[in-house]
Structure 1
Amino acid sequence: MPSQVPNPSSAAVVDQPDVDASIADTQLLWSHLSNASIATVRCDVDGTIEWASPSAFTVLGYTPLDLSGRSIDSLLDDDTRPAVASRLGLDGVGATSLDPICCQVRASDDTRVWCDVDVLAVEHLGEPRFLITLRDASRRVADTRALKSSEERFRTIVNEAPFGVGLQDRDGNFVFLNSRLKRIMGTSANYLLRDELDEHIHPGDLKDATSAHERLGDDESTTRQVRFLRPDGELRWGSVRIIPQADSGSEATNYLWAVEDITARVRAEEDQSRLYTLMEASSDLVIVMNPDLVPLYLNPTARRFLGVDENEVLTPATEPLEFRSRPFGTIGLIGEHMANREIWHGELTLQSASGTWEPFSAMIVPDAQSGRLNRISAVLRDITERKQFEERLEWEATHDHLTDLPNRTLLTQRLASAMERGAQEGTWVAVVFLDLDNFRIINESLGHRVGDNLLKQTAQKLAGLVWSQDMVARFGADEFAIVMEGLETPDSAEALAERIRRAVSGRVGMAEVELLMTFTAGVAVTDGTRGDPASVIRDANAALHEAKLRGRDRTEVFNGNLRAKAVDRLTVETGLRRALRRDELRLFFQPQIALETGRISGAEALIRWQHPEHGLLTPGEFVPIAEQSGLIIPIGSWVVAEACRTLARWAETLPDGEHLTMGINLSGKQLIRPSLIADIESVLEETGVNPANIEMEITESILLDDVDRSIVVLERLKALGLRLSLDDFGTGYSSLTYLRSFPIDVVKIDRSFVDGIGDDPDNAAIVRSVIDLASTLGLQCIAEGVETDSDLAALRSLGCDHAQGFLIAKPLSESDAARLIAYEPAW
C-alpha cells in the first residue's frame, strides 16, 4: 500500500465533460464523493471504471489515473466476482443496493484488502452508471476473526475440560453442554429444555437441581450432589457447582454448572461402607496392623478372640500379634515378605484369650506405597472343624472301620519308613500275614455279627502282642498284617511270627458256641536295602499262600523256592496278557449225553491255552493265576462270547443242533462284575442263540461267598432265559442248606463221588441221595468224571439224567466235537 496520498486537484475529476447549468447538482455530488474518505468508483454498464475518488489511493493504493479504463473485475478475485457482477446487473436509476458485500479486493501491490463493497445504480449526464463504494473493513474482519478464534479456543478448552460444564438460563433450560457433561449424562444434545431434564436427572434430585438457581443471589454460588440417569440405565454421581453469570448489568442472566463426576468416589465410599459393615459382622478375624504387627483395627470377632475390650483404643503400645502366633513369630516371618507386595495365603495357629491355640486359614495382604510398607491386612478363618474333619477323613482313609486297625495304605507307608530305618541302622524288618482259617464258614453259618466280633477280638489280641514300634493292620476280609522292625537277625522273624500265631489261636466262646480258631501265617524279611514295600508285601502274601497249600495252621517264611514260584506266576500272568492280545486261547468241548437215550445232548466249554513255547496248556496251569491277577474277567468274557458263537454255528449246521446245550463256567470275579448281565445280554443278541440252551455253571463255593448277592445275580441271569448249573456239587460246606435258596436248574455231581460208583456202595448211596434230592426239587443231574462202563450203568440205574467224562469223550476241538456230534453215536 502507498504511504503518500496524491494531490486531489489532479484527480478530482477524471472525466470533465461539458455540462450546463441543469446538472449543477450532480457536479456538486461528484465533488463530495471526491473528497470522501471511502474509496468510490463510477462504472459504466459494462463495468469499466470511468472515475475514481482520490481516497482509492488511501484504501487500495491506486491513483484515479491507475483505475481509469480498467474493468471492475480486475479488482476482484474469482470467488468474489460473481456476487459483485450480479449487483452491476440491477436496473433502475436511484435504486438502492442490497446489503454490502464483505470481500477481498486486489490492491495496487497485488495484496488483498478486506472491504465492504456497496453498489448503487445512478444516472450521470443522463446515462445509467454504477457507483461502487469500497470501505476498508480490515480492522473489523481482523477483530471478528480474533474473536471467533478466541471463542473456538474457549469452546475447545471447555469441551476438553476434565469436568462437565453446562450453561443454564433463568428459565432452567440448558443452552450449552460441553462434551464431558454430555458423556456424564449420556446425551448427544447440545441443549436441553427444562422439561427434558427428568430423563437425565434422578427424580430425587430433579427439583432441587433445576430450581437451585432460583434461590441464589446474583453473587452467590452453591454445590449440590446430583444423580444423573443415563439412557443405558447406568447411574452416575456428580458434584455440581452452580455459579451465577451476569452480563453488563448486575443481575444474573445465566448459571454456570461445573460438574465433577464423582461416581467412582461415591461407589468406593459405598464399597468401603459395605466392607466395614461386613468386617464388623464377619465371623472371621479381620485385623489391620502396622509394619510392626501392632493391630490398628480389630473387628468384633478378632477382639473377642484376642480378649481386647470393644471400647479399648488400639495404640502403638498394643501387643504385636507376632507373640500370639505358633510356631513363634509365624506372622513376623510372613511380615518379612510383605514388602514385596505379595498376598500370602496359608495356615497358622493363634493363641486365644483363654490360652488355647486355634488353627486358622489366613490371607495376609500388604499395603505398600512408593515401595514402603504402610499396613498389613489379615483375614483369618477358624478352621478347627475343617481340621477335625480332615483328620477324620485321613483316619478313615488309613484305618479299618470295623477293627480300628490301620489298613493296607497306612501299613505300606509304615513299612516304607521301617525299611529306611532298617537300612540306616543295620537291622531287619519283617512283614507277617495272618489268615483266620475257615472264617468264611463261621461267617456264613453263624452270621456276620459273630464274624465281625471275632475279627474285633482278634485285632485286640494282636495289638497287645506286638512292640510299640510295630504295627498291626487289617489287610483283607480275614487277613491281618504285622510290620515288625528293629530285628537283630532275620531268623528271629519266624519265631516271633509263630509265637504270635499260637497266641491268637485257641478256643473262643462266640454266640453260645465254642469255636476252635486257627491261623495261618506267612513271613517275609528284608534289611531295607533290597526291594520295596510292595515286593516285601507280595513275598509275605506268597508265603501265606504256600502255608495254606500245605494244610493251614502253620507258618511259612518266604524263601528262594517261593520266589521262583512267584517269578513263575508273574511269567504266566505276563504270558496270559500276551495270549489275549495274540489270540492264543482256545475252547475245547467235552460232550454230555442224555442217559435215557444214550445220545449227545450238549457239551461243556473248557478253555485251553495254545502256548507258543509250551504247547497246549490245561486250565489248572493258568486259570488260578488268572483268578489272582484279575485276568479272569477278560478271559471269562471271551469264553462266554466264543462258546455262544460255537453253539450258534452248531445249531445251523448239525442235525438236531438247535436242541444242543452249552455249559459255560462263570468265575467268582465275573459273578460280582456289575456289567456281567449287560455283557451276556449283548452276546446273546449278537449270536442269536436260544438262551434256554445255555447253562451257566457256577461252583457252590463261589455262591457261598455272599449268598444274598449271589441270589440276586442268579435271578437276573434267569431273567435272561439262561439255565443255571451248580458245579462240583457236594464239595462245599453248605450245599444242602442253600440248595433250595438258589434259582438253579441243574446239579453237577462232582467226579470224586462218581469215580468207582459201580463198585463203591458208599459213593453210590451219596449219589442216590443227591439224585433223589434234585428230583424232589425239580432239578436235573449231570454226573462228571464218568470213565468206566460200570460207572455209567450205575448212574443209569440210579436215575441220573446226564453224564460226561472220558468214557464218552475227552475235551475236543470245535471241529472234532462237531464231527462226533454229526456221527450221532449212542452209549
Structure 2
Amino acid sequence: MLAPDSPSIWWPWGITAAGILAGAGLGAAGWARGRGTGGEGGQQTRLDGEELQAYVDLMPIGVLTIDRQGGLVLCNRTAPSLLGIPREELQEVTWRSPAFAIIDASGDGLETEDLPWNKALSTGFRVSGVMVGIEREDTGDWAWLSVTAQPRCDASGAMVEVICTLEDVTQQKTAEVELTLQHLRDNLTSLPNRALFMERLSRAILRSDRRKFYAAILFLDLDRFKVVNDSLSHEAGDKLLIQVASRLRGCLRPEDTVARLGGDEFAVLFEDITSVNDGLLVADRISQGLATPFNINGEEVFTTCSMGIAISSSAETLPAELLRDAEVAMYRAKAKGEGSIEIFDPSMNAKALARFQMEGELRRALERGEFVLHYQPVVGLDTGRIEGFEALVRWIHPERGMVPPLEFISLAEETGLIVPLGTWVLEEACRQAGAWSRAFPADPPRLMNVNISARQFQHKDLIETVLDALRAARMDPGTLKLEITESIMMRDPLASLEAMKTFKSHNIHLVIDDFGTGYSSLSYLKRFPVDTLKVDKSFVDGLGKDPESTAIVAAIISLARSLGMRVTAEGIETMDQMVHLQKLACDQGQGYHFSRPLSREKAEELLGQDPRW
C-alpha cells in the first residue's frame, strides 16, 4: 500500500492541496465546498488516505509524495506510466539518490542536490517547473517532465515530505530538440558542433571541481585527410568523416561527448578522470578503433590521427583556453609524426605563440616577396664540371635577416603554405634555368633540381603547375629534375607511380632524395620511373671512417646500376669523401667541398668561370 500507514493525512490549507488541485484543473474553492471546513482563518482540512489516493489517481499529471529520507509515501496511477517504471518498483527507489539516469534540459546529468525534490527538501521552498529527462525503463526512450516540488509541513510546522507533480512535456521537448539540433549539431556527422561542445565543456569544468575529479579534452586531427579529398573526391572525404565519427562514438562511454569542430578536426570531452593516464587510455582506444581500414566507394582507406590532451586544473579554467591547450598539444604531436599523442604542458604556450607569429610572418613574406633562391652546384664526379644546380629557398626576413629553412619549411608544410611557396620556387627555378641555358649553353644541357614537398606531391594540380612553369620559362622539360623523398613516395605507392609516369611522359627527370633513410619496397622501386638515387649525407659522412657507411653507399650504387639509374651523393665536404665516391663509380656529387649554396649573382660568376674540381 503506497498510502501512509495512518488512516488520514493532514494537509495545511493553501500549501500543497491548492497546488495539486490547480494542476488538476479544479481549484481550491471547489475543494473547500466539497469538504467544507473553510480556509480563511488558517483552518485545516482532514482527508481520508484512501479518498486522497482515489482522487490523485484521477489526475492526468503524475503525483509523487517523497519523505525526508527519500522514501515514496504516495504515487498516483499516472506517475508509473510517465516514468516507464512499474508502481511496485517506484516504491523501492531511494529518491534522494535514484539509480536511474536523470538529466537536465540541456542533456547534462543532474547532481543529486539539484534534483527538484531534493532542492525543495533542503531549502523548504517550492521549486516550480523544472524540466528533467528520465530514461524510461520499459522502452529506453527519454521521458521529459516538468516537475514542481512543494514541501509539506505537519501541524507543528516541521517539514515531513515533498509533493511533486510531473507534467509530461515530451512532445514539446522533442520539437525543441529537433530545432536545437539544427543549430548545435554538425550537419554532416550529426555530432555536437563547436557551440554545443563549449557549452558542455563549461558545465564539465564546474562539475569536476565540485567532485574533485578532472575533466579533459582530447583534440584530434586526421592525418593525410587532404589526400583523400584530392585523390578520391570531396564526397569520399565526407564519407570518411561520417565513418570516423561513428567509430569515435564506439570508442567512448555514453556520458562522454565527441564533437566535430570543423574540417577533419574532432574533440572529445570526458569527465571524472583521476589522472592523465585515463586520457591516454582513451586516446589509445581511439587509435586502435581507427586502425582498421575504412571502405570508401569500394576502396580501402587507411587513416591515423594526431592527438593532443589537456586537463582542467580548477573551476577557474576557461573553456576556450583548455580547448586551445589541447589543440597546441595536437600540433606538437603532428610535428612528431603521424599517429602521435602529446600531453599539454604550459611551456607549449610560448612555442605555440611563436609558431602563430611565425605563421603570420610567413604568409606576409609570400605577399611581400621576401623569399629568394640560392643554387648549389651538382658536379659530375668523372669530369669535375658543373652539370646542374639544386634550387634551395631562403627567407630574407626584414628584421631577423636570413631565416634558416629548418625554421620555416616544416611550418609551411603543416599550414599548407608550402603549396604556394613551392609553386613560387618551381616557377622561379625554371625561369632562372631557362635564362642560364641561353646565357651559358652547355652540352649536355645543365639540369635544375627542384624539391617537391609532401603536400605539393599530393596536390591534384601539381602536374599542371610544373608544365605551366616550364612553358612560362621556355625551358626544355628534359632539363628539369624533380626531387621527391623516399618517404613521400611510399605513403601511397600506387598514386605516386601514376604521377611519376605522367612526369616521365613529358621527359621530366625524377630523383629519389635522401635514399636509404626511409623504408621502400624494392618491388615498387623497380617499377618507379626514377632517373637518379640521391645518397643521404649521413652515409657520405662515414666514408673512409665507417665500414658500414661505405658498404651502404656501395650497395646503393650497385642497386642503381642494376636498375638503370644514376647516383648523386650529397653532403660531400672533403677531398677524401670525393675520392671514395669516385672509386665507387658514383656519378655526381654536391656539398661544401665544391660550393655552398650561392645567390643568383654568385652562381652566374661560377658559371662564367666554368671551374673543374
TM-score (ref. length: structure 1): 0.44
User: Would you say 1:522 and 2:304 are equivalent positions?
Assistant: no
Q: How does 1:418-433 map to 2 (within 5 A)?
A: 418-422=200-204, 427=209, 429-433=215-219
Other structure's SS at 1:659 match? coil
SS of 1:620 mapped into structure 2: helix
SS in structure 1 at match of 2:592:
coil
CA distance in 1 between partners of 2:488 and 2:594 (Å): 28
> Of residues 472, 486, 506 in structure 2, which corresponds to 1:686?
472
Matched, 1:483 2:483: no
Distance 1:467 1:695, change over 3 A: same
Do structure 1's residue 630 and structure 2's residue 416 form an aligned pair? yes
Deviation of the 1:640 alpha carbon: 0.5
Is residue 695 from structure 1 mapped to residue 481 from structure 2 by the alignment?
yes
Gaps of 5+ in 1: 1-387, 400-405, 440-454, 512-517
| Change in CA separation of 1:538 and 1:791 when aligned onto 2, cut-off 3 Å | farther
Q: Given that residues 197 and 259 in structure 2 are in contact (C-alpha distance below 8 angstroms), is that contact kept between their aligned partners in structure 1?
A: no
Tell me how far apart the structure 2 counterparts of residues 714 and 782 of structure 1 sit (CA, whole Å).
Answer: 19
Q: Is 1:791 matched with 2:565? A: no
Please, which of 527, 541, 550 is the counterpart of residue 755 of structure 1? 541
Cα gap change, 1:507 to 1:733, in 2 (>3 Å): farther
Change (3 A) 1:547 1:637: closer
CA contact (8 A) 2:217 2:269 kept: yes
Distance between the aligned counterparts of 1:475 and 1:539, measured in 2? 15
Is 1:817 aligned to 2:603, yes or no?
A: yes
Aligned 1:707-718 pairs, distance under 5 A: 707-718=493-504
Instruction: Give SS of 2:491's match.
Output: coil
CA distance in 1, matches of 2:275, 2:394: 42
1:497 match: 279
Q: Which digits, 9 at most, give the CA deviation of each residue in 1:121-140, with x for residues without a partner?
A: xxxxxxxxxxxxxxxxxxxx
Against the structure 1 CA distance between its residues 480 and 469, is the aligned structure 2 distance closer, same or farther, given a 3 Å change threshold? farther
Whole-angstrom distance in 1 between the partners of 2:222 and 2:457: 25
Distance across 2 between alignment mates of 1:579 and 1:707: 34
Q: Is the 8 A contact 1:651 1:657 kept in 2?
A: no
Q: Deviations over 1:288-321 (max 9, x none)?
A: xxxxxxxxxxxxxxxxxxxxxxxxxxxxxxxxxx
Q: Does 2:591 correspond to 1:805?
A: yes
The structure with the largest alpha-carbon Rg is 1
Q: Give the Cα–Cα distance (whole angstroms) in 2 for the partners of residues 522 and 815 of structure 1.
A: 46
Equivalent residues of 1:497, 1:555 under 8 A apart: no
Q: 1:580 corresponds to which residue?
A: 366
Q: Deviations over 1:388-414 (max 9, x none)?
A: 9xx99x999543xxxxxx77xx46354
Structure 2 stretches lacking a partner, 5+ long: 1-177, 226-240, 294-303
From 716, 723, 731, the counterpart of 2:509: 723
The counterpart of 1:470, out of the listed 256, 274, 280, is 256
Q: What is the deviation of 1:807?
A: 1.1
Residues of 2 paired with 1:692 and 1:562: CA distance?
Answer: 47
Work out the CA distance in 2 between the residues paired with 1:529 and 1:459. Answer: 31
The residue type paired with residue 801 of structure 1 is: D
Could you tell me which of 198, 201, 222 is aligned with 1:416?
A: 198
Measure the CA separation in 1 of the matches of 2:455 and 2:528.
18
**Matched-pair contact (CA < 8 Å) for 1:650–1:658:** no
TM-score by length of 2: 0.58
TM-fit CA distance, 1:751: 1.1
The residue type paired with residue 495 of structure 1 is N
Report if the CA contact (8 A) 2:512-2:534 is conserved.
yes
Native 8 Å contact 2:511 2:531 kept in 1: yes
405, 411, 420: which one aligns with 1:619: 405
State how many pairs are aligned. 404
Aligned-partner SS, 2:378: strand
Which secondary structure does the structure 2 equivalent of 1:684 belong to?
helix
Q: Distance in 1 between matches of 2:584 and 2:355?
A: 43
Give how far 1:654 is off.
Answer: 2.2
1:591 to 346, 359, 377: 377
Residue in 1 aligned with 2:388? 602
Of the three residues 340, 344, 348, the one matched with 1:558 is: 344
Equivalent in the alignment of 2:528:
742
**Equivalent residue in structure 2 for 1:644, among 423, 430, 447:** 430
Within 1, Cα distance between the matches of 2:520 and 2:430? 32
Residue 594 to residue 619, structure 1, CA distance change in 2 (3 Å): same
Q: 1:463 to 1:508 in 2, by over 3 A?
A: closer
Deviations 1:745-791 (A, max 9, x none): 11111111111212221111111111111111111111111112121
Q: For the residues of structure 1 that align with 2:270 and 2:315, how far apart are their CA atoms?
A: 10
Shift of 1:600: 0.9
Task: Verify the 8 A CA contact 2:251 2:289 in the aligned structure 1.
Answer: no
CA distance in structure 1 between the partners assigned to 2:566 and 2:351 by the alignment: 41
In structure 2, the partner of 1:774 is 560
Structure 2 residue matching 1:696: 3-state secondary structure: strand
Corresponding residue number in structure 2 for 1:214: none
Change beyond 3 A, Cα 1:746–1:677: same
1:549 deviates by 6.1
**Higher normalized contact order (CA 8 Å, seq sep 6+, divided by chain length):** 2
- 1:600 is matched by which residue type in structure 2? I
